[in-house]
Chain A
Amino acid sequence: MAEPELLLDSNIRLWVVLPIVFITFLVGVIRHYVSILLQSDKKLTLEQVSDSQVLIRSRILRENGKYIPKQSFLMRKFYFNNQEDGFFKKTKRKVVPPSPMTDPSMLTDMMKGNVTNVLPMILIGGWINWTFSGFVTTKVPFPLTLRFKPMLQQGIELLSLDASWVSSASWYFLNVFGLRSMYSLILGQDNGADQSRIMQEQMSGAAMAMPADTNKAFKAEWEALELTDHQWALESVEEDLMSRELDLDGMFSKELPSGIF
């Protein structure tokens, strides 16, 4: 069945589509700078720093232990994993799970996150919905089912209108997510205007274990280290080296640099 093409007033393009893009973009930039201003300093304790470095050292031992002699590797493995006084066996850290209620700094962080991101989105979305209501803004290039109509066509009460035609509110939300790459271009990576990344973090943060749970990390590291064996990378290094002549090309051809520049 032939679809009747709707011709939109070009004024819509000038006065609706473009302003919404600018508004979204500017609000994003403002959000970024506000988040920088409201950032609170994270103070790490000496113990936390020390523990994270120990974990890194143990991981490096597992991965690159093959570059040191066997004796040295075993010495370090013994230091970490020994039954009676190995580091991972002996050290128990006092772990206080920082739930939002008990830890005041986490509470303020969450509040700040909400205020900077969710609140403006709701406010501006609602304002746009109210200002630019009653007409169709744009058409998405792919066909949608009728289920999407109430969601995307807020304020337009036409039963026969194709679901691909959307209102300005949906154009606003499209912009919020679409301008993410623009923000990366202009504000650099890891910027405060990146909403979807923040929402992802919030979702994964709830599922992830608390970062201060060093005891579990120690236990995991102990297990991993128990399983590692030493495969000396230097077993046949002489044979490998002497299988061909040394590559001395260009060693003496460069002029010595004179002066600073």
Chain B
Amino acid sequence: MASVVKREKMASVSEMYDVGWEEMRDKLRKWREDNCRNSEQIVDVGEELISEHASKLGDDIWIIYEQVMIAALDCSRDDLALTCLQELRKQFPDSHRVKRLSGMRLEALERYDEANKHYDAILQDDPTNTAARKRKISILKAQGKGTEAIRELNEYLEQFVGDQEAWHELSELYINEHDYGKAAFCLEELMMTNPHNHLYCEQYAEVKYTQGGLENLELSRKYFAQALRLNNRNMRALFGLYMSASHIAASPKVSAKVKKDNMKYAAWAATQINRAYKMAGRGTKENKCSMKTVEEMLESMQITMS
């Protein structure tokens, strides 16, 4: 009862932002293309679009139903998800894509066995269907069966070596299991297929840094530098460069030349960090104090080998 009243009182999206239905539709399309997962926003915009302007959307409405349904599952809006699913089922009765959506709804309701049956049916009909296989792996992940999920995902990747989303998922699963070597392998695949993506370089460097050991630290420093070269503004990579360089410099096993080089790198990184904070604090009175804080932070991050 309370939720119904609340919905009536809330202003519609079009009123709040003063936009027409075309802008809402274009925004949904942009979110689809960018693969954003802002489910609450999608539900707000999409629900209004399909309830008020369904006739004007034409054939776009089916893909919007799919997008809104998945977002609704994220937000626990089972009613909305069911409505969208029923519309899609009416229009595309034999579609594998719609069957996958029904499976996803069952997953959201935690009816995993039924969902598995759905996906098995799809796979029997079409063994090359990647979506169904990936959903089965997500079920294992949702049930907390990490090692089984890893095994299934490995089998999947043996067949479909080019699936980048799967490689990334596998690297995450390995990191959760603390198997950093294998996670690094997966990230290498991603780095090869996307050589200009600074985020993969940075993640790889972080994994290498976590693995530890002099060789891995050197590699991590190199890849942090590469991430910075690809994107000068990656602050995480900048801090990573500082940490890895100072870690190597503080290690007792290195030669004097390596120590000197790494201290030079660390010093350079520290200057850049200072510059960045200075730019961030431009125009505020606390600039001088915050600069001192940054200096202290950098000093405290120095690794001391005991």
At the interface, yes or no: A246 with Cβ under 8 Å from chain B?
Answer: yes
The answer on a CB contact under 8 Å between A248 and B222 is no
From residue B207, how far is it (CB to closest CB) to chain A in Å?
12
From residue B258, how far is it (CB to closest CB) to chain A in Å?
12
Q: Number of B residues whose C-beta is below 8 Å from A?
A: 43
Chain A proximity mask over B23-46: 1 for CB below 8 Å, otherwise 0? 100010000000000000100110
At the interface, yes or no: A234 with Cβ under 8 Å from chain B?
Answer: yes
The answer on a CB contact under 8 Å between B195 and A252 is no
Q: CA of A260 to CA of B282 in the docked complex: distance in angstroms?
A: 28
Cβ–Cβ < 8 Å partners of B233 in chain A = 246-248, 251
Cβ–Cβ < 8 Å partners of A67 in chain B = 191-192, 195
Chain A proximity mask over B184-202: 1 for CB below 8 Å, otherwise 0? 0100110111010000000
Partner of A50, one of B41, B159, B219: B159
At the interface, yes or no: B92 with Cβ under 8 Å from chain A?
Answer: no
Q: CA of A229 to CA of B305 in the docked complex: distance in angstroms?
A: 39
Given contacts A238-B222, A238-B265, A247-B232, contact A46 B192 (CB under 8 A): no
The answer on a CB contact under 8 Å between A49 and B282 is no
The answer on a CB contact under 8 Å between A240 and B229 is yes
From residue B278, how far is it (CB to closest CB) to chain A in Å?
10
At the interface, yes or no: B297 with Cβ under 8 Å from chain A?
Answer: no
Residue among B158, B161, B276 having the largest count of chain A Cβ atoms under 10 Å: B161
The answer on a CB contact under 8 Å between A234 and B19 is no
At the interface, yes or no: B226 with Cβ under 8 Å from chain A?
Answer: yes
Given contacts A68-B188, A260-B27, contact A245 B275 (CB under 8 A): yes
The answer on a CB contact under 8 Å between B275 and A248 is yes
Cβ–Cβ < 8 Å partners of B279 in chain A = 248, 251-252
Q: CA of A248 to CA of B17 in the docked complex: distance in angstroms?
A: 33
Q: CA of A248 to CA of B193 in the docked complex: distance in angstroms?
A: 27
At the interface, yes or no: A60 with Cβ under 8 Å from chain B?
Answer: yes
Q: CA of A49 to CA of B126 in the docked complex: distance in angstroms?
A: 13
The answer on a CB contact under 8 Å between A50 and B275 is no
Complex: chain B residue closest to A49, CB-CB: B128
At the interface, yes or no: A259 with Cβ under 8 Å from chain B?
Answer: yes
At the interface, yes or no: B85 with Cβ under 8 Å from chain A?
Answer: no
Cβ–Cβ < 8 Å partners of A238 in chain B = 221-222, 225, 265
Chain A proximity mask over B212-223: 1 for CB below 8 Å, otherwise 0? 000000010111
At the interface, yes or no: A237 with Cβ under 8 Å from chain B?
Answer: yes
The answer on a CB contact under 8 Å between B17 and A259 is yes
Residue among B41, B193, B282 having the largest count of chain A Cβ atoms under 10 Å: B193
Complex: chain B residue closest to A244, CB-CB: B232
Cβ–Cβ < 8 Å partners of B163 in chain A = 53
Partner of A251, one of B158, B159, B193, B276: B276
Cβ–Cβ < 8 Å partners of B23 in chain A = 261
Q: CA of A260 to CA of B17 in the docked complex: distance in angstroms?
A: 8
Chain A proximity mask over B275-301: 1 for CB below 8 Å, otherwise 0? 110011010000000000000000000
Given contacts A53-B160, A67-B192, A248-B276, contact A44 B128 (CB under 8 A): yes
Complex: chain A residue closest to B163, CB-CB: A53
Chain B proximity mask over A34-65: 1 for CB below 8 Å, otherwise 0? 00000000001110011001101100110011
Cβ–Cβ < 8 Å partners of B127 in chain A = 46
Complex: chain A residue closest to B261, CB-CB: A238
Complex: chain B residue closest to A61, CB-CB: B192
The answer on a CB contact under 8 Å between A246 and B192 is no
A-side residues, CB < 8 A to B, are 44-46, 49-50, 53-54, 56-57, 60-61, 64-65, 67-69, 72, 234, 237-238, 240-242, 245-248, 251-252, 259-261
B-side residues, CB < 8 A to A, are 13, 16-17, 19, 23, 27, 41, 44-45, 127-128, 158-163, 185, 188-189, 191-193, 195, 219, 221-223, 225-226, 228-229, 232-233, 238, 265, 268, 272, 275-276, 279-280, 282
24 A-B pairs in the complex with CB atoms less than 8 angstroms apart: A45-B128, A46-B127, A46-B159, A49-B160, A50-B159, A67-B191, A67-B195, A68-B192, A69-B188, A72-B188, A237-B225, A238-B221, A238-B222, A241-B225, A242-B265, A246-B233, A248-B232, A248-B275, A248-B279, A259-B16, A260-B41, A260-B44, A261-B23, A261-B27
